Amino acid sequence: KQEVTQIPAALSVPEGENLVLNCSFTDSAIYNLQWFRQDPGKGLTSLLLIQSSQREQTSGRLNASLDKSSGRSTLYIAASQPGDSATYLCAVRGSSNTGKLIFGQGTTLQVKP
Amino acid sequence: DAGVTQSPTHLIKTRGQQVTLRCSPKSGHDTVSWYQQALGQGPQFIFQYYEEEERQRGNFPDRFSGHQFPNYSSELNVNALLLGDSALYLCASSVGFEQYFGPGTRLTVT
């Protein structure tokens, strides 16, 4: 059974810092991995999607990496801003590509001005 | 192009009642998935609909049921509500790899 874990559960940093959020999964047979952002009480916004054959994806100040063999992904945020404050969730899709996403519990990030 | 929309935004129900939540997928998307997100937790997969049929189901009791219409919109029904059903219910639509999520419906059961 696939399990997804995110560490740390919460993180507080001063504005301008570079930071890394971690995601680990127990079954390396995944189809893809997706990182989402969630603002309090709101839906999920997709940030980056990495296919199982890829090692990383970049979008602006965000970079996500994937190491399937070790069951790990990281989300790197460069030059953090107060507007980056949110909960970040990673989710994996199993290799059957049936569409079911399995989520971690998220990392809640606070960036202080 | 409208994204995924859900209605209502908020809902308060009493234990034992029944509730119906609605979702309209992003234009061109034919697959709809439903997730339940309890406070402080990641979303949990309920089920997925494709071509008006339930294609996959998560570990949820039969009190949770759904439907997909010919225009790809979908409903989630929950019967005999329990306090533990209080959560944010998220709908996601897709065609291909990536799922796009709606804003969610906040259900409170008292």
pLDDT tens digits along B42-95: 999 999 999 999 989 999 999 999 999 999 999 999 999 999 999 999 999 988
Chain-centroid distance, C-alpha B109: 16
Structure tokens at A88: 């970040």
A99 has a pLDDT exceeding 80 = no
Read off the amino acid at residue A75. L
If phi > 0 it is left, if psi is from -120 to 50 it is alpha, else beta; for residue B28 that is left
Q: What are the chain B neighbours of A91 within 8 Å (beta carbons)? A: 42-43
Does the CB of A40 have a partner CB in chain B at under 8 Å? Answer: no
**Angstrom distance (rounded) from CA A25 to CA A33:** 10
**Angstrom distance (rounded) from CA B108 to CA B110:** 6
**Residue B54: its pLDDT value, please?**
93
Q: What is the mean pLDDT of chain B?
A: 95
**Residue A51: its pLDDT value, please?**
92
Structure tokens at A92: 């994996």
Question: Average pLDDT for residues A38-62, to the nearest whole number?
Answer: 94
| B77 beta partners | B20, B65
Does the CB of B104 have a partner CB in chain A at under 8 Å? Answer: yes
Beta-carbon separation of A91 and B42 below 8 A: yes
Give the start-end residues of each E strand in B14-97: 19-24, 31-37, 44-50, 53-57, 64-68, 74-78, 87-94
Does the CB of A95 have a partner CB in chain B at under 8 Å? Answer: no
**CB interface of B with A, residues 55-94, below 8 Å:** 55-56, 58, 88, 90, 92, 94
A95 has a pLDDT exceeding 90 = no
Beta-carbon separation of A102 and B45 below 8 A: yes
B1 has a pLDDT exceeding 70 = no
Q: What is the mean pLDDT of chain A?
A: 94
| B13 beta partners | B109
Share of chain A above pLDDT 90, in %: 88
**Angstrom distance (rounded) from CA A85 to CA B107:** 25
Cβ atoms of residues B101 and A44 within 8 Å: yes
**Angstrom distance (rounded) from CA B100 to CA A73:** 21
Respond yes or no on whether the N-terminal peptide bond of residue B8 is cis (omega within 30° of 0). yes
- The residue whose two tokens read 């494709």 is B50
Q: What φ, ψ does residue A57 adopt, rounded to 5°?
A: -140, 145
**Residue A97: its pLDDT value, please?**
58
Structure tokens at B40: 């402080």
